[in-house]
Amino acid sequence: MQQITLNVQGMSCGHCVNSIENSVGEVTGVDNVTVVLEQGKVDVVFDENKTSVKEITDVIEEQGYEVV
């Protein structure tokens, strides 16, 4: 397991939190997602043999947010 903290722009409300937690949470290999809205941070725990930082950031950007 690996843990990353991504800085994400554009998250503004509880709907955004749900949108990211649900979409990232559905990625195979992702064990846990926590969004800290006030800090613009997304913590992800994942199995690096099953997914990658690239796949996770792609999913976030598909939802309309920017990983910076």
CB of 1 to its own copies, least distance (A): 30
Which two three-digit tokens encode residue 66?
A: 């920017």
| Runs of H (alpha helix) within 1-68 | 14-25, 53-62
Cβ atoms of residues 65 and 18 within 8 Å: no
Q: Which is nearer to its own copies, 15 or 54 (CB)?
A: 15
Q: Which is nearer to its own copies, 2 or 63 (CB)?
A: 63
Cβ atoms of residues 35 and 11 within 8 Å: yes
Footprint of its own copies on this chain (CB under 8 A)?
10, 12-16, 19, 64
Q: Which is nearer to its own copies, 3 or 12 (CB)?
A: 12
